[in-house]
Amino acid sequence: MEDTAKNQLLIGSAQEIDLAVDRQQVTFPMMLKLLYLSLSPQKDLSDYYRDLYRRALAQFTESCGGIRESFYANEFVAGVLLTQKDELFFNIWWDEFKFDTIPARSLEADLNDLRLKAGLYLSEQHRRVCTARLFRLYKTLISSLHNEYYRWPGKEPGAGKAACSQEYAADIRQIEQELEAVRDSYRELGRERGQTRYVAAAAAGTAIIVGAAIGWVALSSGLHFFNSSTGHIWPGVFAGGAIGALLSVLERLSRSALRVRFQAGLAAVFISGISRPIVGALTGMALCVVIEGGLLPFITIPQGKEKFFLAGLAFLAGFSERLLKDAVGNATSSVTGSKKGASADKAAYGDQPIFSAS
């Protein structure tokens, strides 16, 4: 009676997969389930499952572009598959084991997490390498589970979980170490891709600002960009601040000091990168406004070189935002007659401010 109820349950589950095949919605867990159901000792059921498995496999293979490599366990339901499109699929039925599987489940969760991140944040070439390494780790995990499965031959799966053997625990630790090496490689490759996107966005932002500045001058004074007779100061200031910001980004990149949150996503990295020259341009403009307003009387603008001088200051401000902060601190002291602003800057930036009234 119990076997009849179990068979009816399996047939009902297989019928759901049959509907998924008709709708072309086959998943890897469905295909894996049919693979093991096709091994049923009852010929009528096994024939039904084999036919359904062939149909599901054909549809799944077509959707993924072909299967490159696969690995399955014999005694329990577990398998991993690598497609021709370098997509990784895996599934393990954890309730079939006779021993404690908590460490292995945690390891599987870490493997799956890295698999998803590699698909999201790595380039196609780098994702392919990372996926191949993860595939080998999945195979090793299934092999370790297989070895441990046979260390408890007299224990039934439902009779409670046994403690793991030392050999199995050592296998899990080894896989965790190898996973950490793959994770380090993923971080390095992800940072490189994030830095490339960040620098490209910063360069694009700088080009837009410089192009707008040139267009501004061209429309109003016939491309005489730094001709003192035109009276156009702000285009050079904006362009200088943006160029300084871009040079700052490239300088940090050259000494491996550029940190980018590449896992924030493409849009976030792009916005962060393109905003850097914008901030540099606005910082340069703010510094020049402070100087032009006479709030820093100890800074004298040389006659006849106003545009070059202010554009140069904007460049420096874009390269190092500390210039503006020091200038604001000194301007605050000049206006209020106190040293509160300068003291705050000293606490934040050290004893040698870039702008000094001495």
pLDDT tens, position by position, 28-44: 888 888 888 887 777 77
SS3 96: helix
Tell me the pLDDT band of 295, cut-offs 50, 70 and 90: low
Q: In whole angstroms, how far apart are CA 97 and each of 8, 53, 117, 126, 241? A: 24, 25, 29, 35, 64
Q: In whole angstroms, how far apart are CA 166 and each of 49, 98, 147, 170, 171? A: 39, 16, 12, 6, 9
pLDDT of residue 355: 35
Q: 228-251, pLDDT tens digit by residue? A: 444 567 888 889 999 999 999 999
Tell me: pLDDT of 78 over 60. Answer: yes
pLDDT of residue 330: 60
Tell me: pLDDT of 188 over 70. Answer: yes
Are the CB atoms for 238 and 285 separated by under 8 Å? yes
- Pairing verdict, β 78-83 and 67-72: antiparallel
pLDDT of residue 331: 53
Tell me: pLDDT of 15 over 90. Answer: no
Residue 88 φ then ψ, to 5°: -110, 130
Q: Which residue has the higher pLDDT, 339 or 109?
A: 109
Tell me the pLDDT band of 350, cut-offs 50, 70 and 90: very low
Tell me the pLDDT band of 88, cut-offs 50, 70 and 90: very high
Question: What value does the mean pLDDT take over residues 183-197?
Answer: 93
Q: Which residue has the higher pLDDT, 90 or 217?
A: 90
Tell me: pLDDT of 67 over 60. Answer: yes
Structure tokens at 201: 């966005």
Structure tokens at 292: 């032009």
pLDDT of residue 202: 94
Tell me: pLDDT of 1 over 50. Answer: no
Query: What residues pair up with 228 in beta bridges, in sequence order?
Result: none
Give the N- to C-terminal CA distance of the chain in Å, as an integer.
98
Are the CB atoms for 87 and 63 separated by under 8 Å? no
Distance CA 22, CA 290 (A): 72
Tell me: pLDDT of 182 over 80. Answer: yes
Tell me the pLDDT band of 161, cut-offs 50, 70 and 90: low
pLDDT of residue 5: 43
Alpha helix locations (H) across the chain? Answer: 2-22, 28-37, 43-64, 102-121, 124-149, 166-221, 234-254, 266-292, 306-319, 322-336, 340-349
